[in-house]
Amino acid sequence: MSKETKNSNLASAKKNKNDEFYTQLSDIEKELIHYKNHFENKIVFCNCDDPKESNFFQYFALNFTHLGLKKLITTHYEKDSQSYKLVVEHDINKDGVINLDDAIRTDLKGDGDFRSQESIEILKEADIIVTNPPFSLFREYIAQLMEHDKKFLVIGNINAISYKETFKYIKENKLWLGYKTVRFFNQPDGSLFETARTFWFTNLDHKKRHENLLLYKTYKGNESDYPKYDNYDAIEVSKTKDIPMDYEGAMGVPITFLDKFNPEQFEIIGMAEDNGKGFSGGIWDGDNPHCVIKGQNKFKRLFIQHKKAKK
């Protein structure tokens, strides 16, 4: 399947508000292994997870003791119906372990929507939120987590990097990417849904975000490889691996650069105005909000600068 087809699939799903994507257990395991130190004596809330389908709930219930959790709570949305929550906290059946068999079900008053006051009260109790929220509501979902100052590890589409509502937190170093990407999701009919690339978004610190990106190219002597935009005071760097080590000004890079971003190595200045009006960091000059080179629009760009170049 081509990249264009994968992107088209996701766009179609978003248009039709198809948010029934279930994360595979293997993807959860591959990501969560890097955060074990964050979970000891913490209350974990999976607030978009039907336990009949959710591998998030299964993962945390099975690893409750290993992670040293204090409590696990899961809720989910039931359209036009009453929902419920499951809580794992104690060894209810006295078999010596805390796991799925110790889950207690309690009916909710409402439908379990993460935006409901009932769900928000549970959110306030929790320490860390881990889930795959509805892609179509990602902006609103992240805003809620930030409003309540919660730690989180959630899955979002690649384009969420350039949402102006999300980007402001990225620029302020309050939100970054996790370790892995996710390509396949289970669907209710048992089929697999493939996306171009989907990221983990988090504010839990991890080792990868402090690793320097190895740079080997120079701007000096290769200026023709780094044309300046017609309407932005920055140079075009079309591939993250080609970032020049010696250029001190602003550079436009693909949004996938964020997967390699080290805040000690680079500063994020802004992003192209086609992603969010007023978010270019003051380096835009013109009518066309896209980054333009010789009249040709470039796809979404972030603007970065070497940290050592900051005055």
Distance CA 240, CA 249 (A): 16
Q: Where are the domains of the chain?
A: 3-208, 223-309
- 233-243: pLDDT as tens digits: 999 999 999 99
Whole-angstrom distance, CA of residue 115 vs CA of residue 47: 10
SS3 1: coil
Report pLDDT for 5.
39
CATH number of 3-208: 3.40.50
Q: Which of 200, 214, 188 is nearest to 34 (CA)?
A: 200
Q: Please say whether the beta carbons of 241 and 298 come within 8 A.
A: no
Instruction: List b or e across 93-120, with b for residues whose CB sees 16 or more CB atoms inside 10 angstroms.
Output: eeeeebbeebbeeeebeebbbbebebbe
Contact 228, 234 (CB under 8 A): yes
Tokens 């080997």 found at = 216
Residue among 243, 264, 265, 263 nearest 253 (CA)? 243
CB under 8 Å, gap of 24 or more: what pairs does 219-227 form? 219/244, 219/246, 219/247, 220/246, 226/251, 227/293, 227/294
E strands in the chain:
22-23, 43-46, 71-75, 84-88, 104-107, 128-131, 151-157, 176-186, 192-202, 235-236, 251-254, 266-271, 291-293, 296-298, 301-306
Q: Are 48 and 134 in contact (CB under 8 A)?
A: yes
Q: How far apart are CA 133 and CA 115, in angstroms?
A: 12
> In terms of Cα–Cα distance, which of 247, 203, 205 is closest to 226?
247
Q: Tens place of pLDDT for every residue, the chain, 311 residues? A: 444 434 433 343 343 344 567 899 999 999 999 999 999 999 999 999 988 888 999 999 999 999 999 999 999 999 999 999 999 999 999 998 898 899 999 999 999 999 999 999 999 999 999 999 998 999 999 999 999 999 999 999 999 999 999 999 999 999 999 999 998 888 878 788 887 779 999 999 999 999 999 999 999 999 999 999 999 999 999 999 999 999 999 999 999 999 999 999 999 999 999 988 999 999 999 899 999 999 999 989 999 999 975 54
Question: What is the distance between the alpha carbons of residues 198 and 252, in angstroms, rounded to a whole number?
Answer: 22
Q: Is 15 helix (H, G, I), strand (E, B) or coil?
A: helix
How many of the other CB atoms lie within 10 Å of CB of 174? 10
Task: Give burial (CB, 10 Å; 0-12/13-18/19+) of 39.
Answer: buried
pLDDT per residue as tens digits for the range 149-165: 999 999 999 999 999 99
pTM: 0.90
Q: What is the pLDDT of residue 20?
A: 67
| pLDDT (tens digit per residue) in 258-284 | 999 999 999 999 999 998 899 999 999
For residue 241, the one-letter residue type is K
Bridge pairing between strands 176-186 and 22-23: antiparallel
What order do you get walking across the sheet with 128-131 strand by strand? Answer: 22-23, 176-186, 192-202, 151-157, 128-131, 43-46, 71-75, 84-88, 104-107
Structure tokens at 110: 């409402």
Q: How far apart are CA 255 and CA 149, in angstroms?
A: 25
